[in-house]
Chain A
Amino acid sequence: QSALTQPASVSGSPGQSITISCTGTSSDVGSYNLVSWYQQHPGKAPKLMIYEGSKRPSGVSNRFSGSKSGNTASLTISGLQAEDEADYYCCSYAGSVVFGGGTKLTVL
């Protein structure tokens, strides 16, 4: 299976909203509502932020939300904060498990 496609980088100013896309195919993102999103700060383990497309684990800020349209899943972060600066990875079921290439979020 191929990796999911994410933009290499996105940026935004504090207080703004940004959206990170995750494009797959009809065999993965498009067929299952199972996309997860992970946040990873430098030198740290990834942290689950969204699962099953739009569900937030306990303790994750409601500034993080997930959605899907066709073969593309999206992660939206509203009210950007400096602490949101990190790498973000999407992940989907595709017969097995496949990750996106990751997106570096810079808070200007």
Chain B
Amino acid sequence: QLQLQESGPGLVKPSETLSLTCTVSGGSISSSSYYWGWIRQPPGKGLEWIGSIYYSGSTYYNPSLKSRVTISVDTSKNQFSLKLSSVTAADTAVYYCARNPATMVRGVSPRFDPWGQGTLVTVSS
């Protein structure tokens, strides 16, 4: 059974870089059938897709966050990571990682399954 687990600091200072890692267990991140994505949810608000990555390193990002986001993959560790730079209080959210099927010729499917449990990151000095 595939499982995803987010990890990283729960508190980040304004203007610094948020860094999170998602560890995949029960399956290989190098599968040609999937992308691996990050989604976030500010407290009390809705979901926002951040971006997705293929095992080869190919990425798709949300245009509204693209200038601040970097997603990378480490196939040797079965992990993928998120870096979000120049954070502000508006980046305070629960961050989820999830699997994304690679079913489209271009772009990323809006299908995410399964999801990690999520990790709360607070931006505050």
| A35 on interface, CB distance cutoff 8 Å | yes
In the complex, the answer to whether B108 meets A48 with C-beta atoms within 8 Å is no
* A61 CB to nearest chain B CB (Å): 16
The answer to whether A45 and B117 touch across the interface, beta carbons within 8 angstroms, is yes
Report how many residues on chain A are interfacial, defined by Cβ distance under 8 Å: 25
Complex interface: stretch among A13-21, A64-72, A76-84, A89-97: A89-97
B62, A38: Cβ atoms closer than 8 Å: no
Cβ of B109: which chain A residues have Cβ within 8 Å of it? 34, 93
**For residues 19 through 51 of chain B, which have their beta carbon under 8 Å from a beta carbon of chain A?**
37, 46-49
- A1 B63 Cβ-Cβ under 8 A: yes
Q: How large is the interface on B (under 10, 10 to 19, 20 to 34, 35 or more residues)?
A: 20 to 34
* Interface residue B68 (Cβ < 8 Å from any Cβ of A): no
A51 touches B46 (CB 8 A): no
Q: Is the CB of B49 within 8 A of A97?
A: yes
Q: Smallest Cβ distance from B85 to chain A, in angstroms?
A: 19
Taking the complex as formed, is B96 at the interface, i.e. its CB lies under 8 A from any CB of chain A? Answer: yes
Known A1-B63, A47-B115, A96-B63; contact A89-B47, beta-carbon cutoff 8 A: yes
From the candidates A3, A93, A99, name the one contacting B104 in the complex (CB within 8 A).
A93
User: A96 near B48 (CB under 8 angstroms)?
Assistant: no
Given A45-B118, A93-B104, A52–B47 Cβ distance below 8 Å?
no
Verify if A57 is at the interface (C-beta below 8 Å from B): yes
Considering the complex, which residues of chain B in the window 94-122 have a beta carbon less than 8 Å from any beta carbon of chain A?
Answer: 96, 104, 107-118
> Nearest 5 pairs between A and B by C-beta?
A97-B49, A48-B113, A45-B115, A91-B110, A51-B111
A-B contact pairs, 30 of them (CB 8 A): A1-B63, A34-B111, A36-B110, A36-B111, A36-B112, A38-B47, A38-B112, A45-B96, A45-B116, A45-B117, A46-B115, A48-B111, A48-B112, A48-B113, A52-B111, A57-B113, A89-B46, A91-B47, A91-B110, A93-B104, A96-B62, A96-B63, A97-B37, A97-B49, A97-B62, A98-B49, A98-B110, A99-B48, A101-B46, A102-B47
